[in-house]
Amino acid sequence: MSKLYKLGVVGDPIEHSLSPFIHSRFSRETNINIEYLPFKVKQDDFAPFVSEFFKDSLSKGLNITLPHKKNASMLDGVISKEAKYINAVNTIVKDEKKIFLYSTDGVGFIDDIKNKGFMFEDNKILIIGAGGAAESILYTVAHNKPKEITLYNRTIEKAEKLCRKYSHISKTESVLDHNSPYDIVINSSSAGLTGEFRPIEELNISKSTIFYDLNYSLTETPFCKWAKGISNNVYDGIGMLVHQAAHSYNMWFGIFPDTNKVIQDIEDMRG
Ligand code: NDP
């Protein structure tokens, strides 16, 4: 076994995070000795917490989750081009002197989609929601040559703003297009967790449309339950969660762990 490295995930709430489980599996597989803890930290305490955490010479890195991703992008560190553009950081890496700030959500999402045998190139994409998660995937989807992207959100102004920001990279719209079926429908809205989930009516889809919910739980999410009434291609966000974690792990230790094994472990827990 190697020396001990201290890691963790910072959020609020954090009690139900699967990240400690995922990283303990990666640690076992790669034979790297880690202590990965969940830290419940309030908004105002975020920056002081990070600074205190990294005073320990054993501290190697952190994952950042709701509601701190934007705050983390304002920390004093070396930020990646992507994290700076989307104003969100979910991974901090520390070397002897500096901290480095990254977002692995977008690449985690793309990896999972590719792992499932799908791609974005020339496809018509619908993203529901226009919050932080929507932008992290919009960045990578827009860079993967889709035919067009519709960003559909309860508060249309937020969708319009994001569409303007990404219109130089890809064709983006904030109103539903009924002319041809969507190839991939992605739910990045937290409806169902915060407030009631209401399916979109009059959606142009085909039998082969893929439905992907960024949300996940050990039971079926409301979006997946609805989508399964329409299509056999329905997935929740567990795969993305495991892939973004694997990218963080790779940034800390230079080793990309086996994601399929951990996804299978979680599927087994769901029964
Ligand atoms: P935000 O709070 O930034 O955005 C929430 C989005 O959901 C907004 O677009 C909001 O619309 C919409 N929304 C919330 N409640 C409702 C409702 N009742 N009806 C319709 N729309 C609603 O959250 P994030 O974008 O950061 O996260 C969204 C989800 O993605 C979370 O549940 C999170 O767990 C998940 N996620 C999963 C990841 C994974 O690895 N699988 C990674 C990151 C996030 P409005 O603008 O109108 O308020």
130 Cα to the center of ligand 1, angstroms: 7
Strand 34-40 relative to strand 148-152, pairing: unpaired
**pLDDT higher than threshold 90 for residue 244:** yes
Instruction: Let me know if residue 114 belongs to a domain.
Output: no
Q: What is the mean pLDDT of residues 197-201?
A: 89
Rounded to an integer, the average pLDDT of 158-179 is 97
Residue pair 159/174 in contact by the 8 Å Cβ criterion = yes
Could you give the residue ranges of the DSSP H alpha helices within the chain?
19-30, 46-53, 69-72, 81-86, 105-115, 132-142, 156-166, 222-228, 238-253, 259-270
- Give me the pLDDT at residue 192, please: 79
Instruction: Report pLDDT digits (tens) over 178-192.
Output: 999 999 999 999 987
State the pLDDT at residue 194. 78
Q: Name the catalytic one among 69, 70, 145, 228.
A: 69
Structure-token pair, residue 150: 């519709």
Same domain, 162 and 215: yes
Ligand 1 centroid to residue 89 C-alpha, Å: 16
**CB distance 240 to ligand 1 below 6 Å:** yes
Together in a domain, 219 and 178: yes
Please report, in range form, the residues annotated as the binding site: 17-19, 65, 90, 105, 129-133, 153-158, 214, 216, 237, 244
Q: 161 lies in a domain?
A: yes
Q: Are residues 195 and 222 in the same domain?
A: yes
Domain count, the chain: 2
Could you tell which of 188, 200, 213, 263 is best to mutate to test the pocket of ligand 1, judged by most ligand atoms within 8 Å of the CB?
A: 188
The model's pLDDT over 79-96, given as tens digits with 9 standing for 90+, comes to 999 999 999 999 999 998
In this structure, the answer to whether residues 143 and 246 fall within a common structural domain is no
- Tell me, yes or no, if 171 is annotated catalytic: no
101-113 pLDDT tens trace = 999 999 999 999 9
Query: Per the domain annotation, does 209 fall within a domain?
Result: yes
Is 111 among the domain residues? no
How far, in Å, CA of 157 to CA of 173, rounded? Answer: 12
Binding residues for shikimate: 17-19, 65, 90, 105, 216, 244
Both 223 and 128 in one domain: the answer is yes
**Does the beta carbon of 109 lie inside 6 Å of ligand 1?**
no
CATH code of the domain in which 49 resides: 3.40.50.10860
Residue of 178, 193, 179, 188 lying closest to 237 (CA atoms)? 188
CATH number at residue 228: 3.40.50.720
Question: Higher model confidence: residue 43 or residue 207?
Answer: 43
As a whole number of angstroms, the distance between CA 216 and CA 16 comes to 11
Statement: residue 97 has pLDDT above 90: no
**Ligand 1 pocket test: which of 126, 139, 189 has the largest number of ligand atoms within 8 Å of its C-beta?**
189
**Alpha-carbon gap, residue 199 to 226, rounded angstroms:** 7
Q: How confident is the model at residue 1 (pLDDT cuts 50, 70, 90)?
A: low
Residues 225 and 256 in one domain: no
Decide: 191 in ligand 1 pocket, CB within 6 A.
Answer: yes
Whether residues 90 and 141 share a domain: the answer is no
Atom 3, ligand 1: residue with shortest CA distance: 131
Mean pLDDT over 197-223 rounds to 92
On whether residue 94 sits in a domain, the answer given is: yes
Question: What's the Rg (C-alpha) of the chain?
Answer: 19
- Tell whether 132 and 180 lie within a shared domain: yes
Ligand 1 pocket, residue 189 CB under 6 Å: yes
Query: Given a cut of 80, is residue 70 above it in pLDDT?
Result: yes
Q: Is the pLDDT of residue 193 over 80?
A: no
Whether residue 2 has pLDDT greater than 80: no
* 8 has pLDDT over 90: yes
Mean pLDDT calculated for residue range 44-66: 97
Flag whether pLDDT at 123 surpasses 70.
yes
pTM of full prediction above 0.85 = yes
Residue 154 Cα: closest atom of ligand 1: 47
- Asked if 27 and 2 touch (Cβ cutoff 8 Å), the reply is no
Indicate the average pLDDT of the chain: 95
Residue 109 lies in a domain: no
Residue 196: its pLDDT value, please? 84
- Structural domain harbouring 57: 5-104+239-270
Return the higher-pLDDT residue of 190 and 1. 190
Q: Which of 173, 186, 165 shows the shortest CA–CA distance to 109?
A: 186
216 Cβ closer than 6 Å to some ligand 1 atom? yes
Q: Confirm whether 22 is domain-assigned.
A: yes
Domain check: are 221 and 261 in the same one? no
